[in-house]
């Protein structure tokens, strides 16, 4: 199940990088495999049963932490320390028992280091990493630009937040012109119009240094021609 978890986690990351739908669903699904592994190891009778159970428990903690962190659910930072506390016993028993290094051990090391890396990143840095594109140069959906701008603002960098929001606003206005020129449906026109109002409110809040909460946006997925 360790290999299956690793494959599903990798697929989830790839989906996030190339903006394919289903990335978060795969990440949620990945939590099932450590649970299954715990059940499998509990009925095993081999001598390394304890070590395998500890690794599965640690992996479960890390998988839950990664879900909370990626989906920006509250409590992710606290869960990280819980995950590490669940992982440490595995490494203690592994080295004190002088167990042989195998694939499970190397996967456990890699996944633990991956969790530590994600925890140590600033939210803006982590978002940019999974975005793959350069938000300041490349064409990125306006709602992603706005979310990243909010991270920058909360990290004490309102200048970058203002740049990203201005870019998001320009993109939406380009979409508005495209809709008008091609006589597209009123539904699409309303989405873009409402998003322009939302981004404008956020931009005004940044300039006034009182951006405490993001305006409501409809997550548009229109990729209009340059």
CB contact set of 3 (below 8 Å; sequence gap of 6+): 103, 107
Please report the pLDDT score of residue 78 as a whole number. 94
Q: pTM of the predicted model, to two decimals?
A: 0.75
Residue the block writes with tokens 């990798």: 10
| Cα 142 from Cα 161, distance rounded (Å) | 13
Tell me the CA distances in angstroms from 195 to 10, 68, 124, 134, one per residue in order.
33, 27, 22, 22
Please report the pLDDT score of residue 219 as a whole number. 67
CB contact set of 193 (below 8 Å; sequence gap of 6+): 176
The answer to whether 101 and 62 are in contact (CB under 8 A) is: no
CB contact set of 222 (below 8 Å; sequence gap of 6+): 175, 188, 192
Please report the pLDDT score of residue 213 as a whole number. 86
pLDDT tens digits, residue range 20-64? Answer: 888 889 999 999 999 999 988 888 777 888 898 999 999 999 999
| Cα 195 from Cα 217, distance rounded (Å) | 5
The token duo for 78 is 């606290």
Please report the pLDDT score of residue 224 as a whole number. 46
* Residues of the chain falling short of pLDDT 70: 132, 185, 219-226
């Amino acid at each position: 199940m360790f290999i299956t978890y690793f494959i599903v986690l990798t697929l989830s990351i790839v989906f996030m990088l190339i903006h394919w739908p289903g990335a978060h669903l795969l990440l949620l699904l990945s939590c099932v495999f450590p649970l299954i592994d715990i059940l499998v190891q509990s009925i095993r009778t081999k001598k390394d049963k304890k070590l395998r159970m500890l690794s599965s428990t640690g992996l479960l903690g890390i998988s839950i932490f990664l879900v909370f962190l990626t989906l920006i659910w509250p409590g992710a930072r606290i869960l990280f320390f819980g995950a590490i506390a669940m992982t440490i016993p595995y490494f203690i028993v592994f080295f004190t028992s002088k167990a042989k290094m195998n694939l499970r051990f190397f996967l456990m090391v890699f996944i633990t280091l991956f969790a530590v890396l994600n925890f140590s990143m600033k939210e803006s840095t982590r978002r940019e990493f999974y975005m793959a594109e350069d938000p300041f140069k490349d064409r990125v959906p306006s709602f992603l630009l706005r979310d990243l701008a909010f991270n920058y603002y909360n990290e004490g960098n309102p200048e970058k937040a203002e740049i990203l929001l201005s870019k998001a606003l320009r993109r939406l206005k380009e979409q508005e012109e495209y809709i008008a020129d091609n006589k597209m449906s009123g539904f699409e026109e309303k989405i873009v119009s409402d998003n322009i109002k939302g981004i404008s409110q956020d931009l005004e809040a940044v300039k006034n240094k009182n951006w405490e909460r993001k305006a409501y946006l409809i997550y548009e997925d229109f990729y209009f021609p340059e």
